[in-house]
Structure 1
Amino acid sequence: MNIKELQAFNAVVQEGTVSGAARVMNLSQPAVSRLIMLLESELHISLFRREKQRLYLTEEGQAFNREARRILAGLSEIPRIAEEIRAHRLKRLRMVTMPRAALSVVAPVVARFTRENPDVKLSLDIRSHRDIESWINGREYDLGFGNVPITHWAAESTPIGRTVLEVLMPTDHPFARKEVVTLQDLATVPLVQQFPGMLLRRQTDALFDAHDVRIEHEVLAGSSQMAQYLVANGAGVTIIDRLSVLAMDDRLITTRPLSPTRWVAFGVIRHRDDDPDPMVLRLTEMLRERVAECAVDGSIIPLMGKGEV
């Protein structure tokens, strides 16, 4: 695979036709078609389907497009990065967070870090747990935050907090009058769940299977954040860890303990071969401090250490 193939793919996506892509790339139509064919052959997937003289991305093409755009965007940054290196003023930090605690933990920390370090260019991305293998292997980020431990061979993870799974509901929901909500209770109401295969869904499915509980009415959401907002708007209730709901408006939602109790851990993730970096260590300490600020007896427990990753 070469960059020209990616550029041809991106041009076809943008223009919708091979002729349009050929025009913006200053190539012939057969040359653009050949580049797309080579790319599909190398990837062993079909990227486009043709409808009424226009090309549309297949499902596989849509998934590839998300990564291709990221790669091409990074390439466009190379001249500016080189200039910063020559001027000895390059200070960059790349961070990724899994969605669950992005708003409650990571956003406040990143805001504080950028205020204290205005000369550091910090980028923050949100990627699902399912993408973790690719971003670890590719060493796309200097630091990750999410559920730990990580079993990937190249990852090194350090827990900085434990939090319990609870039931999130609107403040006026009948369950709000209960002290504890059981798995059996959840079988009687609409339950907002993530798509099968997602991390939190796997965790909750394991609970239901272990206690032989079957959910009759579920609403599916593509992220934990969307699940929380669906609950706030009355779509049902959901299971979520206490740490992740702290960014929500408590006038709209409330939580109750789930029985049986299930704890999950959050922490920092790095590639095990990365060298220590003072900025990464400082950001890690800030994450620890934020989790400590959020501590709730019996629900959120900080795990304090030396701040080493």
Structure 2
Amino acid sequence: MLNPRQIEAFRAVMLTGGITSAAELLNVSQPAVSRLITDLQHALKLTLFERRGSRIMPTSEAQSLYQEVERSFVGLDRIEQRARDLHARRAGTLRVAAMPALAIGFLPRFVARFLAQRPRVDVSLWGSSSTVVLDWVAAGQCELGFGQTPVEHATVLSEKLPAVAAVAVVPSGHRLAEKARLAPRDFAGEPFISLGQSTLLRYRIDATFADHDVSRQQRVETQLTMIACAMVAEGSGVAIVDPFTAQEYQGRGIAIRPFDPAIHIDMAVLTSAQRSLSTLAQDFLTEFRDAVAAFRLDASL
């Protein structure tokens, strides 16, 4: 039977070219290395080294054997390196899904920064509606999902992220762009681009204008805030959207202004109730929470 220590001694001799150097590499005595090589030759019934003067030279059999040994050790080295990377959270795989407001720009930029510090981490990043994100997490297709709250599902855990405030977006040359902050009365009679009626943000926007007895011209309705911003940039009306999407259109024909009273957008991280998060996912989530909290401060213009 081969002894792993014998193979290790053989490799060390082949790498260093001598018994003495191999002993130093392995931090053992020279007689111990000689004994291991002798036992290996006996077990294999092969002559692996020939003495030529004061040196030993590998035989052709030793050269052939070394190629196989090296392949095995490279595989082990890769396994050990992978384990070290996983322990240090520099390696692994993450599958992340998010609603469009995050997936359009904010989340990809965060992922890029996250990966820059972890060159061996692989990420799958998907974007869709909050309902689809929930389904992906429930089915185990994604480890982390980001969507709007409230969320109720038997196999999915929902944890609120720091809330952000919706912002007003108007064409950059619009008269309302001259104001530092906007309120419901500023939108009276203005062509308004509304979000789809199935969204919580639409409900809160309509409730706010109703509370202030302000009528708008409901000119366009869309499910996606990026479409709303694009139409605002073309002068089709004004809108109230999440700050993440608004940021992507900043400098592209729209002016972004804070809106009073604040209309909060609640977001949640969705995870499986049946599987624990990897340490890599935990790190990702911790840093993402901080990024959202910081953005909330930056977005309060």
TM superposition score normalised by structure 1:
0.60
Q: How many residues align?
A: 214
Deviations 1:205-240 (A, max 9, x none): 333444454432321223112212221222211101
1:216 maps to 217
In 1: Cα distance, 2:188 partner to 2:228 partner: 17
Conserved? CA contact 2:195–2:223, under 8 Å: yes
| 1:103 paired residue number | 104
Deviations 1:55-107 (A, max 9, x none): xxxxxxxxxxxxxxxxxxxxxxxxxxxxxxxx988943211011112234201
Q: Secondary structure at the match of 1:207?
A: helix
SS of residue paired to 1:284:
helix
Are 1:276 and 2:272 an aligned pair?
no
Q: Measure the CA separation in 2 of the matches of 1:217 and 1:174.
A: 19
1:227 matched to 2:236:
no
Which residue pairs with 1:93 in the alignment?
Answer: 94
TM-superposed CA distance for 1:203, in Å, is: 3.0
* Per-residue deviation, 1:142: 0.4
Most deviating of 101-110 and 131-140: 131-140
| AA in 2 matched with 1:281 | Q
Paired position in structure 2 for 1:285:
286
- In the alignment, does 2:183 pair up with 1:182? yes
The residue aligned with 2:250 is 249
Amino acid corresponding to residue 238 of structure 1 in structure 2: A
Q: How does 1:1-309 map to 2 (within 5 A)?
A: 91-250=92-251, 252-296=253-297, 299=300
Deviation at 1:247, TM superposition (A): 2.7
Question: Deviations along 1:98-131, whole A, 9 cap, x unmatched?
Answer: 1112234201111123333333331111111233
The question of whether the paired residues in 2 share the 8 Å contact of 1:163 and 1:242 is answered with yes
Deviation of 1:153 after TM superposition, in Å, equals: 4.0
Which stretches in structure 1 are left out of the alignment for 5+ residues?
A: 1-86, 301-309
Contact 2:169 / 2:238 at 8 angstroms: preserved in 1? yes
Aligned-partner Cα distance in 2 for 1:149–1:108: 26
Q: How far, CA to CA, are the matches of 2:201 and 2:244 in structure 1?
A: 14
- Matched residue SS, 1:158: strand
Residue 269 of structure 1: how far off its partner (Å):
1.8
Instruction: Indicate conservation of the 8 Å contact 1:194/1:222, yes or no.
Output: yes
- Report how far residue 241 of structure 1 moved: 2.6
> Following TM superposition, by how much is the alpha carbon of 1:181 offset from its aligned partner in structure 2, in angstroms?
2.5
Q: What's 2:14 paired with? A: none
8 A contact 1:129–1:199 mirrored in 2: no
The alpha-carbon deviation at position 149 of structure 1 amounts to: 4.8
Question: Matches of 2:135 and 2:213 in 1, distance apart?
Answer: 34
Q: Distance in 2 between matches of 1:132 and 1:208?
A: 30
The structure with the larger Rg is 2
Question: How many Å separate the matches in 2 of 1:94 and 1:150?
Answer: 20
CA RMSD of aligned residues (A): 2.9
Q: Which amino acid aligns with 1:96?
A: A
Tell me if structure 1 keeps the 8 A contact 2:243–2:299: no
Distance 1:113 1:159 in 2: 21
Do the aligned partners of 1:142 and 1:270 also contact (CA within 8 Å) in 2?
A: yes
Q: SS in structure 2 opposite 1:111?
A: helix
Identity %: 28
Change (3 A) 1:95 1:215: same
In 2, Cα distance between equivalents of 1:250 and 1:98: 23
Q: Distance in 2 between matches of 1:149 and 1:196?
A: 16
1:188 partner SS: coil
Stretches of structure 2 that go unaligned for 5 or more consecutive residues are 1-77, 83-90
8 A contact 1:104–1:245 mirrored in 2: no
Cα distance 1:133–1:291, how it changes in 2: closer, same or farther (>3 A)?
Answer: closer
Q: Distance in 2 between matches of 1:286 and 1:229?
A: 30
What is the distance in 1 between the residues matched to 2:110 and 2:298? Answer: 22
Give the Cα–Cα distance (whole angstroms) in 2 for the partners of residues 207 and 292 of structure 1: 24
Q: Which residue of 2 aligns with 1:59?
A: none
Distance 1:145 1:238, change over 3 A: same
